[in-house]
Amino acid sequence: MSTGIKIILAVPDLKLREILLYLLKSWEYNVVVPQDGEDITQYLKKENPNLIIIDAALNNKNGLHICKEIKNDFLTSYIPTIVLIDKRQLRRDLLSIEQGVDDYLIKPPDPIDLEIRIVLALRSAAHNFNANALTRLPGNKLIEKELIERLDSGHRFSFQYIDIDNFKSFNDKFRGNQVIREAAGIISKSVKAYGSVKDFVGHIGGDDFVIITAPDKAETIAKHIIKDFDAIVPAHYSNSDIKDGFIFARDRNGKLTNIPLMSLSIAIVDNTTAKVSNLFELMDVTAELKNYLKAMPGSNFMVNRRVVNKGIGGRSQGQRRASNAAKEPSLN
């Protein structure tokens, strides 16, 4: 009976691969093997494995370089990696191993050692990572951990809280999972395209997402997220809904009423201009901005009280001070 755990085996040596396949399947793991020359990082995103075993000497690319790419990408950084390496390469690339992988074994690995390392790697990943089941983005525990580390470091960063407006009413009437998946893809794509290597994307749950990026990247990312999200919204409504600009559905109080089409509110807090020395203060300022944005029609983002409407080419809404902030000290 299968354990339900999926392991990617990226080993070019056919004889070693056959031995490892036999062992892994005998331990009841689901094993997938990428084709020779396939882009491993893209393959990981497609397969969503629990672990990868990778040879440091791949035919088309250095396995250690791939491990670094895996760890530098927020979509794959949570996947534990075990590298198989020969002794000579180990001496030469010890620093690279320390920077990019979770564990390593000398080739050919002893079966008992391999089994133990797999169990430990999976156990550690399960303890440290809390992914959203729908989007596979890091969940609350990693979001809080990342924010605390950024706050403690004293480095400049911008925190973006992304909320899909009117999603609950849409989800009650239609199936909303596809919207969440598409939103996650848009957010991830925008951060990859317009952010930097150290950026972070997380999914709090439901229709709430977060981004941590550099202050000079925040507005560009927000503009493109809004532009792309607004472009996909019409596909989820009927022509008559689009023409009316609303659906007839229940609001949060259960009352049937006209609910506007979905849009985005993005509250952006720059820790250099707002008092955010701890997580409570960060969420307090974020909630203040978000409450103001939620009262506005359409998709908007606000950077520490400056509101910009409708993404690329949008008009500034002027200087406004948000009020009546809700207290949200925790992401739990």
For the chain, give every domain's residue range: 6-128, 140-319
Percent of the chain, pLDDT > 70?
84
Kindly tell me if the per-residue pLDDT of 290 is higher than 70. Answer: yes
Kindly tell me if the per-residue pLDDT of 61 is higher than 70. Answer: no
CATH for 140-319 (2.70.70.10, 3.40.50.1000, 3.30.1330.60, 3.30.70.270): 3.30.70.270
Give 307's pLDDT tier (boundaries 50, 70, 90): low
Residues 6+ apart with CB under 8 A from 312: 223, 224, 227
Kindly tell me if the per-residue pLDDT of 1 is higher than 70. Answer: no
- Taking the C-alpha atoms of residue 258 and residue 249, their distance in angstroms, rounded to an integer, is 6
- Taking the C-alpha atoms of residue 7 and residue 30, their distance in angstroms, rounded to an integer, is 6
- Burial category of 15 from C-beta neighbours within 10 Å (exposed 0-12, middle 13-18, buried 19 and up): exposed
Q: Domain 6-128: give its CATH architecture.
A: 3-Layer(aba) Sandwich (3.40)
- Taking the C-alpha atoms of residue 225 and residue 241, their distance in angstroms, rounded to an integer, is 23
Q: Dump pLDDT digits (tens) for 207-229.
A: 999 999 999 999 999 999 999 99
Q: Is-above-0.85 flag for pTM?
A: no
Looking at per-residue pLDDT, the higher value among 257 and 62 belongs to 257
For the chain, the residue count is: 332
Q: Dump pLDDT digits (tens) for 230-262.
A: 999 999 999 999 999 999 988 777 788 999 999
